[in-house]
Amino acid sequence: MPKTDELQETAVIYTDGACSGNPGPGGWGVYFKWGDHEKELYGAEKVTTNNRMELTAAIMALESLKRPMKVDLFTDSSYVRNGILSWIAGWKRNGWKNAKKEPVKNADLWRRLDQAAAEHDVEWHWVRGHSGDPGNERADRLAVKGRDEAAGAAGRARR
């Protein structure tokens, strides 16, 4: 990771995931602000879980940055925040096994998130979902848009 004093701009990023059923059609959304710039990203999977969509949103946010940056990343997922700040060190030490010696769920995405976060100086923040925070609400709308598109595609595929 680059030295913090080498990074000039701070990206403010809000991420969210949405899923209908668990598993079911899901979407992820990302809202960025840095300097005078704003950007939105979203995507979907036909069959997934909410936790996978929450992780995917954070991954896509960090992987989309074109250079190392300071990042204030806001998520309404305690799973994502606790995982990256607390649990991941133990999982890596234990060969991606949890405390019960079972394989870590979503290890593929946790590895990818760990690698993406290492490229930046990330401060992880938790924000209560659906509480009126404008950035979180915007990311949620994007995640729901992705989920709805996935649900529509899944519905069309079944016909």
Bridge partner residues of 37 (DSSP): 34
pLDDT grade for 158, boundaries at 50, 70 and 90: very low
The one catalytic residue among 17, 26, 29, 146 = 17
The one catalytic residue among 16, 26, 43, 83 = 16
Residue 39, SS3 per DSSP: strand
Is-catalytic flag, 17?
A: yes
Is-catalytic flag, 114?
A: no
Is-catalytic flag, 90?
A: no
pLDDT grade for 152, boundaries at 50, 70 and 90: confident
Q: What is the pLDDT of residue 9?
A: 77
Is-catalytic flag, 140?
A: yes
**Does the predicted TM-score (pTM) go above 0.85?**
yes
Quick one: tokens of 75?
Answer: 């998520």
Is-catalytic flag, 76?
A: yes
What phi and psi, each to the nearest 5 degrees, are found at residue 69?
-145, 160
**Residues 4, 114 contacting (CB under 8 angstroms):** no
How far is residue 145's CA from residue 67's CA, in Å, rounded to a whole number?
28
The one catalytic residue among 26, 29, 43, 76 = 76
Is-catalytic flag, 54?
A: yes
**Residues 73, 128 contacting (CB under 8 angstroms):** no
What phi and psi, each to the nearest 5 degrees, are found at residue 57?
-60, -45
pLDDT for 63 beyond 90 = yes
| Between 105 and 4, residue with greater pLDDT | 105
The one catalytic residue among 26, 54, 83, 120 = 54
Domains and CATH numbers, the chain: 6-158 (3.30.420.10)
The one catalytic residue among 26, 27, 121, 140 = 140
The one catalytic residue among 38, 130, 152, 155 = 130
pLDDT grade for 38, boundaries at 50, 70 and 90: very high
Residue 65 one-letter amino acid: L
pLDDT for 130 beyond 90 = no
The secondary structure of residue 152, as a DSSP letter, is: H
